[in-house]
Structure 1
Amino acid sequence: MGETIPAASWLGRISDTYNMLWKMVIRPPRDLYSPEELGPAKFRLGKRVYERRDLQLRSGRGVLECSHFVPAKSPEAKRPCVVYLHGNCSSRLEAFDALPVLLPRDLTVFCLDLSGSGRSDGEYISLGHHEEKDLRVVLQHLRSLDTVTAIGLWGRSMGATTSILRAEEDHDLAACVLDSAFRDLQTVAEELVSRGRFPVPQFLLSWALEMIRTEVSRRAGFDPLELMPINCAPNAKCPAFFGVASDDTFVLPHHTQDLHNAWAGERVLRVFDGGHNGVRPTWFLEEAADFLVDRMKSKSQLKAQDIVAPGRKFASDPSGKDDEEDSSGGVDGKPTPRLVSPLTECLQLDPRGANVPMSADLLSRRVPERKHHMARELAKMGFRTDAVLAAVHHSETVEEGLEWLLTQTGEAPCQVDNRPPSGARDHCCLGVMSPCSEREASPAQARGEREEHSLPSVPVPESPAPPAPPPPGRLLPGANLNDQLLFLGFDETHTDAASKRCLTMDAAMDYFSTNSVTVRL
């Protein structure tokens, strides 16, 4: 006879899952960084010196902590401004990834901790609903300044969704960069459950979503199932530069494709690898910055000499140094710190771990028997072995363990990769402003120094053996679209261009047809 599971056990598990899910929506890990992590107020990027001007703005949910990056030389000159909007468990520190490609193009950069994030007021986030109101306040402030000409947006994840919601109504925006937005929140939730990312039986999904809807509405004041950027895209007129990781397993790539297809204005799509929270490739950052510069230049109707042309960097004077710098490369006789880029959103769940049974070592030797259920449930959610061990040590229930993990986003136990690394990648490391020396500090070096203090990571348990391959002829050889196009005989230059613009083979064929690309036989 099968084992009878007590009703109380079922109710307890449902309660744990319910609490976990609503917290994932409106109270994910909060990036409570220290003010020192913003670095010095004046820093050097290349041969130029820039200033960070911190300020506070007030929105309907309290005080917003903001920063405006401007050139130290002629800060009152008229320039376009890019507003950077961070993801759901991130902060304004995320904007540091974009500063190296935006500031040298003679753009100023404005970033902020959205309500409920970072050091700003607010208990909960809303994945774009209330954040769009924060953005309105920022835009009103920037448009009151004589120094700001055109305004563009650069958003990632929640920040991209926020940008879409604002772009529907604000047709004065010059352009948007939209990295990994979702089309609607209900589809994201259904896809996560269907792929085993959360322990909710499929037959209970509708009930669970309705319960979460009620809880989120009560606590955060918005209906999550009515958060549908896909309905806003047909009314958005500004040029949009869409970016998506082909291996994003959190918000599937089709969300970006759907938004791109529905966008009313000019639209461009670029595809890369790196997952939802991975480091974005340099070529993508550069191309996105060029896109913004070109459209913001047109929007503000500036003369060619008033703005640096797309792709160009600042030209140094014949002496090889700027007015702000002395012969040692410092400012006012002191070395000027260099800018170092941080990495962004921290918590990721590994889909491979959802169906992997707990290891015998974890269950029998290192976890007390009374906590076997807790360890097994956390492992099913995709957390790595070291994360599960740490949570079990600090907690007594599944909910307490999950809550503890969500507060440890800067620590190694809570770093759960959502795909095998394709190279040397950094995870959950905040960058710093470090003084210059003879050996110029680089972002990779700075992140590496921070990693020396991280807890050791334990590899994710091996995935079950993959299913047998389909019959010959069903799939093309190759791990990705680029490899498959090369197999078909297309030139490497053309396949590289197509793989950056298309998510599917059909889209690549359409791209080749439009550009009259043929195969050499």
Structure 2
Amino acid sequence: MPNRITETYDALCDLIIRPERHDTYDEKQLGPKVFSLATTNDDSSSRHYCRKDLVVYNSRGLMLRCSHFEPVESQRRTERMPCVIYCHGNCGSRIDALPSVEVLLPFGFVAVLLITVFAFDFSGSGLSEGEYVSLGFYEKQDVGDVVTYLMGTKRVSKLGLWGRSMGAATSIIYSSLDPCISAVVTDSPFTSLHELIHEMVLGIQSWIPRAFIAAGVSMVGRTIQTRAGFDIELNTPIRYASRCTAPILMGHGVQDTFIRISHSEKLLKEYGGSPKTLVEMEGGHNSSRPESFYNQVGEFFHYWLVWKDNFVNAFKIVEQLHDVDIITQT
């Protein structure tokens, strides 16, 4: 029994800090460097975009593989544009950002030209350097380094974060530390790594004596500290939630058995920003999300990053692009 328990906890540690890594993809899977997407309005037009692949070095000296999806220069109407940074899950990579690109770039009347998407592989994930993931502890630093890069280009106005699972928890933590984040979308975040590990241990308690549960969580924590160099007790998004000020749209699958929806419910209650909304969706942790959720995300980001506080300028761009008169009803 002791050997079996030890093996089980070692497997849990791997699931947390060294899950199956998506490091076999080719950048060709990100699609062509120049591409077109149809707008979501009814004018049957399409706009042209480009993908810039680049490298950002994080504060620990590790190389992060990144991609920035933007309009081609000839269709770029403003020098500074809002940008949404996509933060993938613990088994993911920037490949996971492709649905967000398809949603955000062509969304709405002319938002096709008003927003960009930045995707990257966290350290320890995908094609980036690093051995382990930390479910938010080091990932928040990666986000900060990406933000520093983007703001240094002088081509970004507002910033949004869209994260899933590990990336969702990271987005909450980082947004509490940086008031420059104007909007946040999370899909399946967890309240604390300690609570998540506790639930994972409980999930295999059918043959593990209950007396071993608390000791098991401590064992996992010590192993993670030794191998990956961080304290699980410090990886607690719910402690940061009350400090957040950006509006947030949360999504969570009601059948999620890996990170239960109760995590999002608790985070929503503590979250300091406003407005704050939780969308309950059918599906589990890795299920595809319904089109209705993506539409909500598109509307959310474009309101807070494009239209809010910039209503007049946005409609000036509408006139330029569509050569129509803008009628304001009073």
- Write the distance in 2 (CA, Å) between the matches of 1:149 and 1:44: 24
Identify the residue that residue 304 of structure 1 maps to in structure 2: 314
- Write the distance in 2 (CA, Å) between the matches of 1:129 and 1:92: 19
Check the 8 A contact 1:85/1:111 in 2, yes or no: yes
Check the 8 A contact 2:13/2:220 in 1, yes or no: yes
Identify the residue that residue 328 of structure 2 maps to in structure 1: none
Q: TM-score, normalised by structure 1?
A: 0.56
Identify the residue that residue 66 of structure 1 maps to in structure 2: 66
- Write the distance in 2 (CA, Å) between the matches of 1:153 and 1:65: 18
Check the 8 A contact 1:58/1:137 in 2, yes or no: yes
Provide Cα deviations, 1:25-66, integer angstroms capped at 9, x if missing partner: 100010011222122211221222210000100013400000
Change in 2 beyond 3 A, CA 1:258/1:306 = farther
Instruction: Identify the match of residue 242 of structure 1 among 239, 250, 253.
Output: 250
Shift of 1:307: 6.2
Instruction: Identify the match of residue 116 of structure 2 among 94, 103, 108.
Output: 108
Identify the residue that residue 270 of structure 1 maps to in structure 2: 279
Instruction: Identify the match of residue 98 of structure 1 among 94, 97, 100.
Output: 100
- Write the distance in 2 (CA, Å) between the matches of 1:187 and 1:35: 36
- Write the distance in 2 (CA, Å) between the matches of 1:198 and 1:316: 63
Shift of 1:193: 2.9
Change in 2 beyond 3 A, CA 1:79/1:56 = same
Check the 8 A contact 1:245/1:271 in 2, yes or no: yes
Check the 8 A contact 1:28/1:89 in 2, yes or no: yes
Shift of 1:215: 1.3
Check the 8 A contact 2:21/2:126 in 1, yes or no: yes
Q: Is the aligned partner of 1:51 residue 2:50?
A: yes
Check the 8 A contact 1:233/1:259 in 2, yes or no: yes
Shift of 1:194: 2.5
Check the 8 A contact 1:149/1:300 in 2, yes or no: no
SS at match of 2:105: helix
Instruction: Identify the match of residue 283 of structure 1 among 271, 292, 310.
Output: 292
Identify the residue that residue 444 of structure 1 maps to in structure 2: none
Identify the residue that residue 362 of structure 1 maps to in structure 2: none
- Write the distance in 2 (CA, Å) between the matches of 1:301 and 1:188: 41
- Write the distance in 1 (CA, Å) between the matches of 2:300 and 2:103: 11
- Write the distance in 1 (CA, Å) between the matches of 2:206 and 2:58: 34
- Higher strand fraction: Structure 1 or Structure 2? 2
SS at match of 2:51: strand
- Write the distance in 2 (CA, Å) between the matches of 1:240 and 1:209: 31
Q: Which runs of 5+ in 1 are unaligned?
A: 1-9, 309-313, 319-521
- Write the distance in 1 (CA, Å) between the matches of 2:293 and 2:273: 21
Shift of 1:297: 2.6
Change in 2 beyond 3 A, CA 1:196/1:289 = same
Identify the residue that residue 11 of structure 2 maps to in structure 1: 20
Change in 2 beyond 3 A, CA 1:280/1:306 = farther
Provide Cα deviations, 1:198-230, integer angstroms capped at 9, x if missing partner: 964322111111111111111111111331111
Check the 8 A contact 1:150/1:299 in 2, yes or no: no
Matched AA of 1:84: Y
SS at match of 1:222: coil
Identify the residue that residue 81 of structure 2 maps to in structure 1: 79
- Write the distance in 2 (CA, Å) between the matches of 1:141 and 1:198: 48
Identify the residue that residue 161 of structure 2 maps to in structure 1: 153
Shift of 1:95: 0.3
Matched AA of 1:113: D
Shift of 1:299: 6.2
Provide Cα deviations, 1:383-433, integer angstroms capped at 9, x if missing partner: xxxxxxxxxxxxxxxxxxxxxxxxxxxxxxxxxxxxxxxxxxxxxxxxxxx
- Write the distance in 1 (CA, Å) between the matches of 2:207 and 2:233: 20
Shift of 1:300: 6.3
Which of these two proteins has the greater Rg computed from alpha carbons? Answer: 1
- Write the distance in 2 (CA, Å) between the matches of 1:92 and 1:116: 13
Check the 8 A contact 2:30/2:98 in 1, yes or no: no
Shift of 1:100: 1.4
Matched AA of 2:252: V
Identify the residue that residue 327 of structure 2 maps to in structure 1: none
- Write the distance in 1 (CA, Å) between the matches of 2:92 and 2:218: 27
Matched AA of 2:248: A
Shifted more, 11-20 versus 228-237: the winner is 11-20
Q: Which runs of 5+ in 2 are unaligned?
A: 39-45, 325-330
Change in 2 beyond 3 A, CA 1:197/1:41 = farther
Check the 8 A contact 2:201/2:216 in 1, yes or no: no
Matched AA of 2:67: S
SS at match of 1:123: coil
SS at match of 1:235: coil
- Write the distance in 2 (CA, Å) between the matches of 1:299 and 1:131: 29
Check the 8 A contact 1:193/1:202 in 2, yes or no: no
- Write the distance in 1 (CA, Å) between the matches of 2:84 and 2:317: 14
